[in-house]
Amino acid sequence: PDVIIEAQFDDNDAEHGQDHLQDTLSDDIKKLSLDTGEMGNAVGISGVQRTKQDDGPKVNDPRLLPDEFLQRTAKVVYILEKKHSRAATGFIKLLADRNSELFKRCAMFSPVDHRVPRVYVPLADCPPDFMIRPEEYSQNLFICRIVDWKEDSNFATGQLSKSLGQAGEIEPETEGILMEYGVDFSDFSPKALECLPQNLPWVISPEEMAKRRDLR
């Protein structure tokens, strides 16, 4: 139950269609059909007689194929625990199709982590002049939180939380990592600070040192 199966996905195929993926699968199926047909012919030569009703194994039936040609499949039946914070750092850009109705309402958020899907974000969440000068924000890091992902869509939908700053700088990059992993990096509350010694500089008393083992 602790095994996580990951797969790399080229999101360029998702944006521009999956014709290439379908062609690849079709070629693999054709090769598999030819291999299985040759196996059937070899069996026929060895002396096994077939009637017209039994023309040999049908390649469309996966139960008749050898195990090495089968791909195990499964489905998720239950989510035990949501581990991801649904937040990601990345960049925003305009949609490719400027004539679409979606272009007037949404921008595209591209996460730095390629395991996270690309996200449609409302233009209302973007900077006011983003539509006029999108190139000025091409190197700005943003935090986006995924709120939904419909089954019939290649892209999730989300909301921009904040702008972190210029990509490549230590502070924005660090803040983005902390937010992605749900780490609370806010300031300590006054109640928590009251537990610390108030008289500074603080030193360990001789009585306390006598009870401790010095590992310095």
Task: List beta partners, residue 121.
Answer: 107
* pLDDT recorded at residue 156: 93
86 inside domain: yes
* pLDDT recorded at residue 31: 63
Domains of the chain: total: 1
Convert the pLDDT of each residue in 131-142 to its tens digit. 898 998 989 999
Look-up: residue for tokens 């449609």? 120
Instruction: With a cut of 70, say whether residue 20 has pLDDT above it.
Output: no
* pLDDT recorded at residue 6: 55
User: What span, in angstroms and rounded, lies between the C-alpha atoms of 132 and 109?
Assistant: 17
13 inside domain: no
* Confidence (pTM): 0.54
**DSSP annotation of 107:** E
Pairwise pLDDT comparison (187 vs 3), residue with the higher score: 187
22 inside domain: no
DSSP per-residue codes, 142-182: EEEEEEE--TT-SSEEEEEEEEEEETT-HHHHHHHHHHHTT
Instruction: With a cut of 80, say whether residue 57 has pLDDT above it.
Output: no
Instruction: With a cut of 70, say whether residue 28 has pLDDT above it.
Output: no
* pLDDT recorded at residue 48: 45
Neighbours of 17 (CB within 10 A): 11
- The CATH number given to whatever domain includes residue 140 is 2.40.50.700
- pLDDT class for 8, splitting at 50, 70, 90? low
Residue-number span of the structural domain to which 130 is assigned: 81-181
141 inside domain: yes
